Amino acid sequence: MSSDYSARHLSVLEGLEAVRKRPGMYIGTTDSRGLMHCLWEIIDNSVDEALGGFGDRIEVILYPDDSVEVRDNGRGIPVDVEPKTGLTGVEVVMTKLHAGGKFGGGSYAASGGLHGVGASVVNALSERLDVWVDRGGKTHHMAFRRGEPGYFGDPASGATPEAEFSPFVTGSELKVTGKVAKARTGTRIRYWSDRQIFNKSASFSYEDLLTRARQTAFLVPGLELVVRDERNPLEPTEESFRFEGGAKDFVDFVAPDAAVTSTWELKGEASYTETVPVLKPNGHLVSEEVERSCVVDIALRWGKGYDSEIRSFVNIISTPKGGTHQSGFEQGLVKAMRKVIEANARRLKLTGKDGAERIEKDDIMAGLTAVVTVRIPEPQFEGQTKEVLGTTPVRGIVSKVVEKELGAIMSSTKRDDKTQATIVMEKIVAEMRARVAARKQKEISRRKNALETSSLPAKLADCRSNDVEASELFIVEGDSALGTAKLARRSDFQALLPIRGKILNVQKASVTDMLHNAECASIIQVIGAGSGRTFELDQARYGKIILMTDADVDGAHIRTLLLTLFFRYMRPMVDAGRVYAAVPPLHRVEVMGSARREREYIYTYSEKELNDTLRDLKRAGRKFKEDIQRYKGLGEMDADQLAETTMDPEHRMLRRITAADAQAAERVFELLMGNDVGPRREFIVAGAAELDHSRIDA
């Protein structure tokens, strides 16, 4: 490298050269994400027309030759000559950076486009781009090669980027190629991405396109978006989206759990002032204080789960990293909920130690699904990728709207609103209590020490091992089974926790009731990893949780209640495959000994297996006691039998509990354990004929 450095070493990139030299500045990356970002830029221009009320249909078509076309029925790009440049509006939009109708000229009240570089960047990064504009009763056409306007000598087979290209020499021409009805307007853009810029592996994602189209249809009620994939000519696919409900429908679609409240809409509008450079007719930029309008449209609801799903948008642009509108939403949410919960502290039993605790944002966000949208002219984003909103006054406006509108719903005297408000407040308070309990739990060492001995339930018979992976916790039914299990277990790695009969049905009960239930609290405390949103799998004190209940109907019911607790409040244990059900035998067959054989005991686990075993013994000519022992409870076994059949890892059989299909599992738990009795009765009646009456311990 030369130490000589002077002005001749400086490079000045003109026009679209800068885009091709540093594409990452404009589209983020040159892989599939950057390819899709280019497509979003073209689609968003069409959506801006619909957002202004000038169009109601957009089509996106993926062709087999790796090109993509976007059609709309908006006003169409202006085709007249722009006086400063002497170029048509089409060429200005497609070739000039920072040129467009979204710099405050009154063409768009609110838009996703902002910087005037979207279409021109896509043009610069395309091997070929064609644009058709229907306007004034005519169809106008212009073609570009890597941002340069000119003519393509296309073959009869159709348009292709490999066709011979002739750039304009003396002046550009916007060619009229046909006639249309005067009332018909719109823009069609088809382009082939430049593989000199993008990775060879980059491709358009049909699924991402569907997701974005669906999202946009939710945000612009009445707009129809049609997505067609023709890349496989033998099996073309097409989907269409159109919604009338707006953000409310969007919340119902993205919500990950069943609702406990209706979907509430919070709407409002306010103005603010900001100092911005204004382009004067003489071409000079002058700073002026202008008044802006901010329209807030929020839809939200709480569900049974603990995860929050917040989607935020400015005009039609998704802001995955939030910004001032999302922080304003969270600020208003916290203020409104704290205020209403403090007003109902006595009813929610927030006294004593609980009263000293403060409701935090995470407590409120548990189970919340919300779509936050604001519409403002000329929003300030951080960068061209528009992932974070930076317009400061929006925070205060959104916060006030949320605080006012949500406060009115939570304080409403209508019966339905009052009931739902109570459910939300109880859920939030329960989350606060769970968070406090989890914080206290973390202060305790994972394994036994002098301080922990008194904190764990006295009825826990813990193991000696500190190896979490090897340790096992047996949850056993009653003290009688505990006595036998203590003699049968291997105390170095097997711990025992007895429960008293049938625990609380947590599918019906509130979180508060669950936390106050002694049996549920003991199980959560012994496992030591928290519950709900605060559950941390790596904090669990045991590698396996084994539910050991009697092999009868009551035992099956207790096991179902325990599984409901794990599924609702310790779900990661189930997902990790660390919850098991012990499989105790149903029968013991005593086979008589002989001169050559010793007495033998055979355990069977079903009626079919018993019948098959007896048949095989008879065929072999072996005698057995006709009085077959039928176990109706673990307490009927002695320690050796229990160890051999149910607890010894070398001989036992465990059934791993999984929930591969979370939605199906949720439906089953709601059917068996939920509040709706009708479907459960039908299920019981339908399966009554299959019940083995001998299993009823009566």
Write the burial class of residue 416 (CB in 10 Å: 0-12 exposed, 13-18 middle, 19+ buried).
Answer: exposed
C-alpha span between 273 and 393 (Å, rounded): 8
Work out the percent of the chain whose per-residue pLDDT is above 70.
88
Give domain status of residue 505, yes or no. Answer: yes
Same structural domain for residues 456 and 384? no
pLDDT in tens, 611-640: 899 998 888 888 888 888 888 777 788 888
Same structural domain for residues 401 and 305? yes
pLDDT in tens, 365-374: 999 999 999 9
Give domain status of residue 303, yes or no. Answer: yes
Q: Where are the alpha helices (DSSP H) in 593-638?
A: 607-619
Write the burial class of residue 150 (CB in 10 Å: 0-12 exposed, 13-18 middle, 19+ buried).
Answer: middle
Residue 310 scores a pLDDT above 60? yes
pLDDT in tens, 183-211: 999 999 999 999 999 988 899 999 999 99
Q: How many helices (H) and strands (E) does the chain have?
A: 21, 25
Which stretch of DSSP H or E encloses residue 429?
helix 415-442
Same structural domain for residues 388 and 478? no
Same structural domain for residues 110 and 203? yes
Give domain status of residue 134, yes or no. Answer: yes
Neighbours of 165 (CB within 10 A): 17
Which range of 70-74, 386-390, 532-536, 551-555 scores highest in mean pLDDT? It is 70-74
Q: Which residue has the higher pLDDT, 478 or 619?
A: 619
Q: Which two tokens stand for residue 478?
A: 């009653």
Same structural domain for residues 425 and 464? no
Same structural domain for residues 199 and 118? yes
- The region of weakest confidence among 102-111, 439-448, 591-600 is 102-111
Give domain status of residue 648, yes or no. Answer: no
Residue 665 scores a pLDDT above 80? no
pLDDT in tens, 236-265: 999 999 998 888 999 999 998 889 999 999
- The region of weakest confidence among 48-62, 206-220, 229-243, 382-396 is 382-396
The pLDDT value given to residue 639: 87
Give the SS3 label for residue 191: strand
Same structural domain for residues 209 and 186? yes
Same structural domain for residues 471 and 356? no
pLDDT in tens, 562-592: 988 998 889 899 989 999 999 888 888 888 8
Give domain status of residue 592, yes or no. Answer: no
- Give the chain's mean pLDDT: 84
- pTM of this prediction exceeds 0.85: no
Give domain status of residue 473, yes or no. Answer: yes
Same structural domain for residues 357 and 452? no
Q: What is the rounded average pLDDT of the residues 287-298?
A: 89
Boundary residue ending a domain (192, 226, 244):
244
C-alpha span between 297 and 240 (Å, rounded): 24
Q: What is the rounded average pLDDT of the residues 383-404?
A: 86
C-alpha span between 190 and 59 (Å, rounded): 12
| CATH value at residue 104 | 3.30.565.10
Q: How many whole angstroms from its chain centre is CA 607?
A: 45
Q: What is the dihedral of CA 441, 442, 447, 450, to 10 degrees?
A: -70
Same structural domain for residues 236 and 258? no
Write the burial class of residue 7 (CB in 10 Å: 0-12 exposed, 13-18 middle, 19+ buried).
Answer: exposed
What is the domain extent for residue 567? 445-584+655-695
| CATH value at residue 402 | 3.30.230.10
Residue 15 scores a pLDDT above 80? no
pLDDT in tens, 336-351: 999 999 988 888 887 6
Q: Which residue has the higher pLDDT, 100 or 529?
A: 529
Strands (E) in 345-482, as ranges, are: 368-375, 472-477
The pLDDT value given to residue 11: 58
The pLDDT value given to residue 695: 58
C-alpha span between 213 and 34 (Å, rounded): 17
The DSSP-derived string for 117-185 is -HHHHHHHTEEEEEEEEEETTEEEEEEEETTEEEEEE--TT---TTSEEEE-SS----EEEEE--TT--
The count of domains in the chain is 3
Boundary residue ending a domain (187, 210, 244):
244
C-alpha span between 36 and 281 (Å, rounded): 37
Kindly report the backbone phi and psi dihedral angles of residue 523, in degrees, each rounded to the nearest multiple of 5, phi listed first: -65, -45
Same structural domain for residues 449 and 369? no
Give domain status of residue 548, yes or no. Answer: yes
Residue 542 scores a pLDDT above 70? yes
Q: Which two tokens stand for residue 175?
A: 């060619």
Which range of 126-130, 507-511, 628-632 scores highest in mean pLDDT? It is 126-130
